[in-house]
Amino acid sequence: MKGKSKVLVVDDDELIVAMLSRLMKGEGYETALLTQPGEVVRKVRAWSPDVVLLDVRLPGRTGIEVLEDIVRQGLSAQVVMLTADDTAETAVRALKLGAVDYLTKPFNSDEVRIVVRNIIEKGNLKREVDYLRRVQAETHDRSLVGASPVVLELMAQIDKMAEAAVDTVLITGESGTGKELFARYAHEHIRRTDGFAPFIRINCAALPETLLESELFGYEKGSFTDAKSDRKGLFETAQGGSLLLDEIGEMKPSLQAKLLRVLEDRTIRPVGGSEEIPVDVTVIATTNRNLSQAVETGQFRMDLWYRLNAFHLQVPPLRERSDDIPVLARHFLELFAERYNKKPVKTLSSEAEAALKRYGWPGNIRELRNLVERIVVLGSAGEIRPEHLPEWLFEQKEAKKPVEAAGGVVLPEGGIALEEVERELIRQALERTQNNKTQAARLLGITYDTLRYQVKKFGWE
C-alpha cells in the first residue's frame, strides 16, 4: 500500500524553500529539501519522490541540466520547474526536455497546491490503470477452468459459502491441482468484489516462524532489533478482502495457536504491541498435506484443524477428472498463443485429446500447462496430433507376465526400460505422500535433491 506522496523542493533561496516546505507539509505530503544541485539526482534515485520542484537557477549548475540528468537516467519523478523568468523560452525548453509543468516566481500558493495536487492525482491514476491492465492480462491465466461434475460441485459449494458470508475456508489437494485458483474464486464470490478488495497471498513454508509472525501481524517500532518503524502486517493489509495462507500445514504449532485466536476473535496484536486491532478478512488456507494425519502426529493443532475444517474443499487430482483435461488443454493453447503471439491458435485432434486423457498426470494441471506451453512455442503443426506429443505420454502401464527374481524384484518377460520403472515408482511415491517430496524421497530411499532432479527430468515441475 502506498503511503504519503513525496515532494522534493530544490532551490538555493532559503525563504522560498521554507515557504514551499510549509505549503507541501500542510497538504499532507512528505517533504525533503535541497539547496545544492549536485545532490539532486542522488536524492531522487534513493528517495523516489513523486514530484520535484526544481529551480532553474542554482549555484554552479542550472536546473535545466539537472532535469536532463533526471530524464537521461530514467528516474520516475515528475519535475516542475521554478523560474523567475516570465518569458516563454525557458518554460518551453523545460517542457521539451521532460518537465511536466513550470511555476513562475513569485508564487501564488493556491497555484502551487493545484499544480502539485494534479500531478500526484494523475500519477495515482496511472498506477491504477497499470494495475488494472496487469490484472486484465492475468485474469485469463487465473480463471477457474473446468467442466467436470466435481469442479462444478466445488464451485457450487463456494457459492453457498458466499451466501452465508463464511470467514474461513480450507482448500486441500495435491500440488498443481489449482488450489489457488479455487481460492481466488472463493475470494471473488465471498467478498463480492466489484472493485479493489485485496487478495493477499503468503507462503507459510517460505519464511521462518518469527518472520512469518511479523509478516502476518505486523510489528511496532522497537519490538526487535531491526524494527525501526511501525509496520502493518498482512492481516491489516488485507482488510476488506482475503488473506491466502498457502501451505498452512507447514506452519509451526506455536504460531498456529496465535492464528487460531485471530480466527476466533477476529482481532490481531502486532509484535511488540499491546492493543488489539479488529480485522475484517476472509482467511483462505491451502495445503497439500493430510492435516488429519498431521494432527495425529502432533504436527498440527487439533483445535485449529477443527476450526478450518468447518468449510473444507478437497480439490481432486487431474487424473480423477479427465473431462477437464481437453478443456484445460484448449484453454492453455489460447493463453500461450496470445502470450507468444502464435496465431492462429493450434487445435487439438480427437486422437491427441484421447492420449492426453489416458495419461496419469502426476504433476496435475501444472504438468499439463508446461506441456502445452512447450507445444505452442516449439511446435509447427496447426493441428496437434499424437505424433506431436512426447513419447513418455504413451508409455504403457499395463502389467506384463512377470518372472520372479531374487529379492522379490519382478522383471517382465519382454523386458522394460529402467526409466519407465523410475517414473512409475516416483509417481506412486508422490501420489502416496500427496506430493510431499520430502516424504516421497524417504519412501524411495533417495535424497530430496535426487528426487527434485528426477521430477524435473520427467517434466513434472
**pLDDT tens for each residue of 304-335:** 999 999 999 999 999 999 999 999 999 999 99
Q: Which residues pair with 8 in a beta bridge?
A: 32, 52
- pLDDT at position 106: 87
Helices (H), 319-417: 324-339, 350-358, 364-378
pLDDT of 251-306, one tens digit each?
Answer: 999 999 999 999 999 999 999 888 889 999 999 999 999 898 889 889 999 999 99
User: pLDDT band for position 447 (50/70/90)?
Assistant: confident
Domains by residue range for the chain, with CATH:
6-126 (3.40.50.2300), 149-316 (3.40.50.300), 319-394 (1.10.8.60), 402-457 (1.10.10.60)
| 63-72, 109-118, 158-167, 388-397: least confident range | 388-397
Cα dist. 233→37, 58, 243, 257, 460 in Å?
A: 39, 43, 11, 17, 35
Is the predicted pLDDT of residue 128 greater than 80, yes or no? no
- What pLDDT is attached to residue 421? 77
**Gap between the Cα atoms of 194 and 198, Å rounded:** 11
CB neighbour list of residue 436: distance below 8 Å, 6 or more residues apart: 288, 289
Average pLDDT, the chain: 86
Tell me the β-bridge partners of 34. Answer: 10
CA distance 432 to 288: 12
Say which residue the cell 517500532 belongs to: 221
Instruction: Flag the least confident range among 166-170, 344-348, 419-423.
Output: 419-423
Nearest to 307 by CA among 266, 250, 275, 247: 266
Check residue 75 and give its pLDDT. Answer: 86
pLDDT at position 440 is: 83
**The pTM is what?**
0.59
Q: Is 58 helix (H, G, I), strand (E, B) or coil?
A: strand
Question: pLDDT tier at 407 (50, 70, 90 boundaries)?
Answer: very low
> Alpha carbon of 445 to those of 14, 25, 426, 456: distances in Å?
74, 65, 11, 18
